[in-house]
Amino acid sequence: MSLSGLKRLLVGKSLPTSAHAEERLSNAAALAVLSSDALSSVAYATEEILLVLVLAGSTALSYSIPIAAVIMMLLGIVILSYSQTIKAYPNGGGSYVVARENLGLYSGLVAGGSLMIDYILTVTVSVSAGTAALTSAIPILKPHTVLLCLFFMFLVMLINLRGVKESGNLLMIPTYSFIVGIFLLIGVGAYQQMSGNIPSASNSVAATGGEAVTVFFLLRAFSAGCSALTGVEAISDGVLAFKPPEWKNARLTLIYLGIILGVMFMGITYLANIYHITPKEGETAVSLLGNAIFGKGSIPYYYLQISTLLILLLAANTSYADFPRLCYFLSRDGFLPRQLSIMGDRLVYSNGIIFLSVAAAVLVIIFKGEVNAVIPLYAVGVFTSFTLSQAGMVLRWYRLKTAGWQISAVLNGIGAIATLVVLAVIVLTKFVAGAWLVVVAIPLLVWIFLSINRHYKYVAERLSIQDLAPKSYTPRPRTEQVTHPAIVIVGHLNRGTVEALDYARSIADEIVAVHVDIGSTDREKLRKRWEELESDIQLEIIDSPFRSLIEPIVDFISNYEQQHPDVLSTIIIPAFVTRNWWEGILHNQTTLFLKAALRGKRSRVVTTVRYYL
What is Dmax (Cα atoms) for the chain? 101
Answer yes or no: is pLDDT of 244 > 60: yes
CA atoms within 13 A on the CB side of 433: 17
Contacts of residue 80, defined as CB under 8 A and 6 or more positions apart, other chains included, come to 411, 415
Are residues 8 and 335 in contact, defined by beta-carbon separation less than 8 angstroms? Answer: no
**pLDDT confidence bin for 458, thresholds 50/70/90:** very high
Strands 538-543 and 570-577: unpaired
One-letter identity of residue 344? G
165 — pLDDT class (breaks 50, 70, 90): low
* CA pair distance 161, 148, nearest whole angstrom: 20
Residue 457 banded pLDDT, cuts 50, 70, 90: very high
Q: Which residues contact 606 (CB under 8 A, 6 or more apart)?
A: 570, 571, 573, 595, 598, 599
Compute the residue count for the chain. Answer: 613
CA distance 273 to 145: 30
Q: Which of 318, 334, 328 is nearest to 351 (CA)?
A: 328
Contact present, 127 and 156 (Cβ < 8 Å): yes
Kindly tell me if the per-residue pLDDT of 198 is higher than 90. Answer: no
Which pLDDT belongs to residue 5?
57
What is the DSSP pairing of strand 538-543 with strand 510-517? parallel
Domains of the chain, earliest start first: 3-91+135-369 (no CATH), 485-612 (3.40.50.620)
Four-point Cα dihedral 476, 477, 479, 483, nearest 10: -30
The residue-averaged pLDDT of 138-156 equals 90
What does the pLDDT read at residue 283?
81
Residue 334 exposure: Cα atoms within 13 Å on the Cβ side: 11
Distance of CA 515 to the CA centre of its chain: 31
Taking 3-state DSSP, the helix, strand and coil percentages for the chain, each rounded to the nearest 5, stand at 70, 5, 25
Q: What is the rounded distance in angstroms from the CA atom of residue 598 to the CA atom of residue 571?
A: 9
pLDDT-derived band at 579, boundaries 50, 70, 90: confident
SS3 336: coil
**CA distances (Å), origin 377, targets 177, 178, 318:** 29, 26, 18
Q: Model-level pTM?
A: 0.82
- Region label for 171, one of left (φ > 0), alpha (ψ between -120 and 50) or beta (otherwise): alpha
In the prediction, which pLDDT does 226 show?
A: 86
**What pLDDT score was predicted for residue 203?**
45
Q: Is the pLDDT of residue 205 over 70?
A: no
Residue 42 clears pLDDT 70, i.e. is over it: yes
Averaged pLDDT for residues 49-53: 90
